[in-house]
Amino acid sequence: MPHLAVSGVHANYGALEVLHGISFDVDRGGIVSLVGPSGSGKSTVLRTLVGLTRATRGTVEIDGDVIDYRSARAIRAARDRMAIVFQQYNLFQNMTVLRNCTLAPVKIKRRPRSEVEAEARDLLALVGLADKADAYPDELSGGQQQRVAIARALALRPDILLLDEVTSALDPELVGEVLDTIRRLSDEGMTMLLVSHEMGFVREVSNAVVFMDAGRVVETGSPAQIFDAPRSDRARDFFGKVLRH
């Protein structure tokens, strides 16, 4: 049984349907990457998984349990299991790095502060920021702030981490440190759903790649299959353009 199973998901913004039946699976400990042109629906897929956008049809299952997005409680439960990190990391500027990571687990999850702080320090070490716990976000580079945002998401103890173009807002020299962090999480066995334009990285770390266009999955396969031998004209055209640069 896949850890996450997305089947025939449709979603709208207002009257406009933007996902027209999305299906893919993610195995436990695996990395699946969503790639495709801007506007193809990648972010909407992630938003739909955590209930920020409402699926109008289709099912999402975690370990075989269907998430009922009509229920606020089920959405909260889904957000306990899937944490999303955005391109814009939006840290609280008036709080230390450690406080940014502990706020939600302490205030919302009502877990004991001492336990949460110890875990947050371990997570900051995992993302290479053990020495920045007491720093404020404006004392950090963009890459460091994005790694704090990843630690903050992990502090919620998700089963699956959803990463939406987490390197796209960074200066080129800072991209590598965030990709190294994702690599390390993968080595630790974290299940991830990755949206990224870093095609070399996607190819290296993904167990499967889902190519989307215009709200549909056009093809799914291993990185080698999708990048080297795409079956669809649309994917061939897309990779022909992005891989040449």
Ligand X SMILES: Nc1ncnc2c1ncn2[C@@H]1O[C@H](COP(=O)(O)OP(=O)(O)O)[C@@H](O)[C@H]1O
Site for ligand X in 4-43 (CB under 6 A): 13, 18, 38-43
SS3 8: strand
Query: Which partner, Mg ion, ligand X, none, binds residue 44 by CB below 5 to 8 Å per kind?
Result: ligand X
Task: Give 96-125 as a 3 state SS string.
Answer: CHHHHHHHHHHHCCCCCHHHHHHHHHHHHH
Q: What is the rounded CA–CA span in Å between residue 196 and residue 18?
A: 19
Is residue 152 a contact point for ligand X (CB under 6 A)? no
Can residue 196 be called a binding residue for ligand X (CB under 6 A)? no
Q: Measure the CA–CA gap between 182 and 180, rounded to whole angstroms.
A: 5
Q: Which is nearer to Mg ion, 182 or 195 (CB)?
A: 195
Least Å distance between CB 43 and Mg ion?
3
- Alpha carbon 36 to its chain's center: 15
**Rounded to the nearest whole angstrom, what is the least distance from the CB of residue 81 to ligand X in the complex?**
21
Q: Does 149 bind ligand X (CB under 6 A)?
A: no
Q: Where are the alpha helices (DSSP H) in 128-187?
A: 142-154, 172-187
Among 24, 26, 30, 44, binds ligand X (CB under 6 A): 44
Does position 234 bind ligand X by CB under 6 A? no
Site residues, ligand X (CB under 6 A): 13, 18, 38-44
